Amino acid sequence: MSDFNHPSAVDRRTLLKSGAAAVGLAALGPRAASALAASTVDHQAGVVFAPGLPGRDYTPVITPNGAALPFRVVQGVKVFHLVAEPLQHEFAPGLTAECWGFNGRTPGPTIEAVEGDRVRIYVTNRLPAATSVHWHGILLPSGMDGVSGLSQAPIPAGATFKYEFTLRQHGTFMYHSHRDEMTQQALGMMGMFIVHPRISARRPDRDFVLLSSEWKVLPGARRPDPNEMLEFNVLTFNGKAFPGTAPLMVKQNDHVRIRLGNLSAMSHHSIHIHGHAWTLTETDGGVIPPLARWPEVTQLVPVGCTRTMEFIADNPGDWALHCHMSHHTMTQMGHSGINMLGVDAAAVDRAVQPILPSYMTMGTDGMGDMGEMGMPVPPNSTPMFGTTGPYGYIDMGGMFTVLKVRPMLRAGDEARWWEPPAGTLAQAARPEELARDGIIVEPSASPPAAPHHHPPPPTFQPDRPK
């Protein structure tokens, strides 16, 4: 990492001869960065930095289920190429939709750079509609801000536009379409833009990026509905709904950073971590001074914000990391059903099965078992949640992932469950324990609830969708 000062009246040829990346003063845009933006170096004096390199200048972030956007350095400028295009995206096993994204994925690949880098980002539009890209939270010249109609003309279908600016701050930022946002973001046109500090006191061991978004994909439909305002039924971290979310693999006592971004259309998210307390160290507006930081176990990430959380992963195990809004941990949950809690299921079955032999009453004791019933469901839809865990069915979906903290990280740990040491697992209380502790369990006065499963009659033949 080298930085060097230039006289303010430096001429261009001298710069080029010096072999360093040259940045014209005019290209710097505003003379000063926003006063509060995080910065580790002085951008005022026309300083030009060599492009930051992974490993040397920063530890690359990990985007679970995602990818990093490759770049090449051309004459001291980092050149990226984003291609906006339609694609087929899988939210979770069995649920795929026609989305729009960048470079074949949604969210698009994570852009990573270093404070002081000069970046040149080409955006090719392969969508059927015009588009533009906004660099959310990044301080740059007005004409590079990507707001279609306000700061630039829209990028027509088939055209390639060039954005170029110098990064004069570090932090967690995002990029997303800023033309017909309602449609283009609902279809997935977004990604994360990470800017590492030029000078870093301490780099975390693991640096994760999680971008939240929400979708409306009706069971059996093949395309997200951009008209939806309220009833989003697919909620994702990096475009994936549990069990499609890849776990976050962490070695015990690692310094872990998790950068949370939210580009949901209408929902703020309360991201809750189990087994640890974490600290809010940065927002997209900058670094929070240490004395002002908030310890949290649940961090609200409003729409259009990023929140950077840090903690020491000192508690080994398999820990849930999820949005605490209950309906955000369900996938394709319908909200037009009837509340069947407490209803006499057998009586309903007796009334309905003569007419509909494949009918079976559900939800009379809640929905915890719905996902594992294996009832035939519409094509291209998922059970509402879940997968099989070490102690039965994990009845979660949507914005839910697992933070796996292990004393040693071995290959294949992603698929292995935590084995709790003796005495660290909740189990049924033994009679002698109850007696020892004076716990008296009165026999229940009310009869036990009727069994909630009423398997369909043996004649039940689900229709194969044609």
Partner 1 sequence: MIPVQREEARSHRPSGLRALLLGAMLVALPACGPRRPGLATQPVDALLVARTGVAAPRMRGVDSLVASDSVRAMLARPLTPDAVVRVTLLAQPRLRSLYEEIGLAQADVVQAGLLSNPLASVDRFTEGRFQEFSVALSFVELLRRPLRTRVARARLETTTLQVADAVFRAVTDARSALAETVAAEQSLDLRRRTRQAAQASATTAALVHQVGNLLDLDLASERARAAESDAAVLRAEGEAAASRERLVRALGVDVPGDSLRLPARLADLAGAMPPRDSLVALAVNSRLDLAAALSEINASAREVGLTSRFRYLADGSLAYSGEAEGSRMLRGPGLSVPLPLFDRGQARLQRAQAALRQAVARQEGLIREVRSEVRESLAQLDAAQRRATRYQADVLPLRQRVTRETQLLYNSMAIGVFGLLAAQQAELEAGQGYIESLRDYWIARYHLEQALGTRIP
Q: Which amino acid is at 182?
A: M
Tell me whether strands 95-102 and 77-92 are parallel, antiparallel or unpaired: antiparallel
* Minimal distance, residue 372 CB to partner 1, in Å: 13
* Minimal distance, residue 355 CB to partner 1, in Å: 5
Contact 207, 167 (CB under 8 A): no
Tell me whether strands 269-273 and 317-323 are parallel, antiparallel or unpaired: antiparallel
* Minimal distance, residue 350 CB to partner 1, in Å: 9
* Minimal distance, residue 97 CB to partner 1, in Å: 16
Contact 144, 178 (CB under 8 A): no
Task: Closer to partner 1 by CB, 24 or 220: give it.
Answer: 220
Task: Closer to partner 1 by CB, 285 or 456: give it.
Answer: 456
Other C-beta atoms closer than 10 Å to the C-beta of 186 total 23
Burial 123-159 (b: 16+ CB within 10 A, else e): bbbebebbbbbbbbbbbbbeebbbebeebbebbeeee
Evaluate the omega torsion of the peptide bond into residue 243 and state whether it is cis, within 30 degrees of 0: yes
Task: Closer to partner 1 by CB, 124 or 358: give it.
Answer: 358
Torsions phi, psi of 27, nearest 5? -75, -10
Task: Closer to partner 1 by CB, 424 or 446: give it.
Answer: 446
* Minimal distance, residue 110 CB to partner 1, in Å: 33
* Minimal distance, residue 132 CB to partner 1, in Å: 36
Nearest to 52 by CA among 133, 140, 170: 170
* Minimal distance, residue 328 CB to partner 1, in Å: 17
* Minimal distance, residue 376 CB to partner 1, in Å: 6
Q: Which residue has the tokens 């640890």?
A: 276
Task: Closer to partner 1 by CB, 178 or 216: give it.
Answer: 216
Task: Closer to partner 1 by CB, 42 or 344: give it.
Answer: 344
Phi-psi region of 372 (alpha: psi -120 to 50; beta: other; left: phi over 0): alpha
Q: Which residue has the tokens 């999820």?
A: 322
Contact 193, 50 (CB under 8 A): no
CA geometry: angle 193, 197, 202, nearest 5 deg: 120
Task: Closer to partner 1 by CB, 35 or 230: give it.
Answer: 230
Token digits of residue 455: 């398997």
Contact 324, 301 (CB under 8 A): no
Residues that bind partner 1 (CB under 8 A): 218-220, 332-334, 336-344, 347-348, 351-352, 354-356, 358-359, 361-363, 367, 370, 375-378, 381, 383-384, 462-463, 465
Cα 146 from Cα 82, distance rounded (Å): 14
What are the residues whose beta carbons fall under 8 Å from the beta carbon of 120, sequence distance 6 or more?
Answer: 74, 77, 78, 79, 80, 162, 163, 164
* Minimal distance, residue 325 CB to partner 1, in Å: 19
Q: Which residue has the tokens 């994760």?
A: 208
* Minimal distance, residue 321 CB to partner 1, in Å: 26
Task: Closer to partner 1 by CB, 303 or 375: give it.
Answer: 375
Task: Closer to partner 1 by CB, 262 or 361: give it.
Answer: 361
